């Protein structure tokens, strides 16, 4: 009798012990690699909350593991019916209104390696912490918070599906705690039966090659040395930011050097060229500003800000999801 009671007690203890929680860093790593082996369809909403206005893109997504994806835009109205098909390293932007397909190829970029490198930077700057478990769209999820090691503030909140470890929600917060961006996957359905035809490119559309893009390299100093001109670098970067990648491209006979800095979540690009080639902002609503007393302009495209200025001899541009004041501070530190 005593023995059976002991068995019963043990069984109850085992049953009542909660399953061990996975390490948040492992969950994040799994979430990065999950699309390589999980096929799914769903609806994605990407929202950016700017200073003056917010915008949202909504698209249907069909993903066939490991690397075929179709995003079919439902909103905004200007993008309705357009789609983006990614097959391996090639991306086809299908613009039905202009009856053209813009083809871009990133075969030189090993995205997975770059992503792993950025993930290392992310872990160096952010603490991953498990939040209380939740449900999202009726699915149980893990909650992972990424807290900035320098400020202690939560910069990102990620909801990861318990069953598949796919990311279902990603929220990014500004330094004052306000929500600045959110990506959510709704109505998700996991399937292994997405026909390859879904990822076919419609015939009869004019094919246009995308603008030439330089080959990205993580050997930043080597790329700078091959630029062919004396490149400048910002002397100030926000805490945790470091050079991640660089590339050189020649357009209109102008060699342009692109340096990318990131802290693993936020990122900023710095462009400069060897000639006096200004940034053409005519297609955007540009606002005048100054960078270290030099005249400049900025444009805001969702959460992304482009700051362009000239020191009288050269033109520079910074692009990133940092605040304008942070970009101006970085720009002011670009000195010969």
Partner 1 sequence: MNAHPNHELLIDYLHGELAPGEDAAFLLHLDECATCRARYQEEVSLSESLREYARATEREFPVGIRAAVLDAIETGADRPTLLERLASVFKPAIAVPIAAALVLAAFLGFGSTAHRNPTIDAGYYLEDHAAVTSAVPFNEGNTVPTALFVTENADGTQ
Task: Give CA–CA dist 110/114, Å, rounded.
Answer: 6
Task: Give CA–CA dist 318/259, Å, rounded.
Answer: 10
- Give helix 24-33 / helix 111-125 axis angle, nearest 10°: 160
Task: Give CA–CA dist 74/85, Å, rounded.
Answer: 15
Is the CB of 38 or the CB of 167 nearer to partner 1?
A: 167
Q: Does 216 bind partner 1 (CB under 8 A)?
A: yes
Stretch that binds partner 1, among 1-9, 14-22, 147-155, 179-187 (CB under 8 A): 179-187
Residue list 126-145, contact with partner 1 (CB under 8 A)? none
Least Å distance, CB 149 to partner 1, is: 16
Contacts of 274 (CB under 8 A, 6+ apart): 227, 228, 229, 254, 255
Q: Does 201 bind partner 1 (CB under 8 A)?
A: no
Of 245, 248, 291, 334, the one binding partner 1 by CB under 8 A: 245
Q: Cβ-count burial of 291 within 10 angstroms (0-12 exposed, 13-18 middle, 19+ buried)?
A: buried
Q: Does 258 bind partner 1 (CB under 8 A)?
A: yes
SS3 200: coil
Residue list 278-297, contact with partner 1 (CB under 8 A)? 278-281, 283-284
Contact between 60 and 71 under an 8 Å Cβ cutoff? The reply is: yes
Task: Give CA–CA dist 235/113, Å, rounded.
Answer: 27
Residue list 41-70, contact with partner 1 (CB under 8 A)? 44, 46, 57, 59, 61
Of 125, 148, 255, 256, the one binding partner 1 by CB under 8 A: 256
Stretch that binds partner 1, among 127-135, 227-235, 252-260, 326-334 (CB under 8 A): 252-260
Sheet with 68-75, edge to edge strand ranges: 126-136, 139-148, 154-161, 167-173, 179-190, 40-49, 54-64, 68-75, 83-87, 90-95, 100-105, 206-209
Contacts of 10 (CB under 8 A, 6+ apart): none
Q: Does 167 bind partner 1 (CB under 8 A)?
A: yes
Is the CB of 299 or the CB of 332 nearer to partner 1?
A: 299
Of 141, 156, 180, 220, the one binding partner 1 by CB under 8 A: 156
Least Å distance, CB 79 to partner 1, is: 6
Phi, psi of 211 (to 5 degrees): -60, 145
Of 27, 38, 145, 158, the one binding partner 1 by CB under 8 A: 158
What character string, x for contact with partner 1 (CB under 8 A) and - otherwise, covers 72-111? -x----xxxxx-x------x-x-x-xxx--x-x-x--x-x
Stretch that binds partner 1, among 128-136, 188-196, 211-219, 287-295 (CB under 8 A): 211-219
């Amino acid at each position: 009798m005593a023995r059976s009671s002991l068995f019963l007690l043990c069984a109850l203890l085992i049953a009542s012990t909660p399953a061990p929680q996975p390490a948040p860093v492992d969950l994040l790593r799994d979430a990065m690699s999950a699309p390589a082996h999980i096929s799914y369809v769903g609806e994605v909403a990407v929202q950016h909350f700017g200073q003056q206005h917010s915008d949202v893109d909504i698209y249907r997504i069909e993903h066939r593991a490991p690397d075929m994806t179709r995003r079919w835009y439902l909103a905004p109205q200007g993008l309705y019916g357009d789609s983006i098909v990614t097959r391996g390293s090639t991306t086809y932007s299908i613009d039905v209104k202009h009856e053209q397909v813009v083809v871009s190829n990133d075969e030189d970029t090993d995205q997975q390696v770059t992503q792993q490198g950025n993930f290392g930077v992310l872990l160096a700057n952010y603490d991953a912490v498990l939040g209380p478990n939740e449900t999202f769209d009726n699915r149980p999820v893990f909650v992972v918070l990424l807290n900035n090691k320098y400020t202690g503030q939560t910069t990102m909140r990620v909801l990861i599906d318990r069953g598949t470890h796919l990311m279902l929600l990603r929220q990014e917060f500004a330094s004052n705690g306000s929500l600045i961006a959110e990506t959510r996957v709704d109505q998700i359905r996991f399937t292994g039966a997405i026909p390859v035809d879904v990822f076919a490119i419609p015939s009869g559309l004019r094919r246009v090659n995308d603008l030439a893009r330089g080959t990205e390299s993580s050997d930043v100093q080597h790329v700078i040395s091959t630029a062919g001109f004396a490149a400048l670098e910002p002397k100030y970067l926000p805490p945790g930011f470091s050079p991640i990648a660089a590339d050189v491209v020649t357009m209109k006979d102008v060699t342009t050097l692109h340096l990318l800095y990131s802290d693993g979540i936020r990122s900023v690009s710095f462009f400069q060229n060897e000639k006096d080639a200004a940034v053409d902002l005519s297609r955007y609503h540009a606002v005048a500003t100054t960078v270290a007393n030099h005249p400049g302009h900025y444009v805001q495209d969702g959460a992304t800000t482009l700051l362009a200025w000239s020191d009288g001899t050269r033109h520079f541009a910074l692009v990133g999801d940092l605040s304008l004041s942070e970009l101006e501070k970085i720009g002011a530190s670009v000195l010969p």
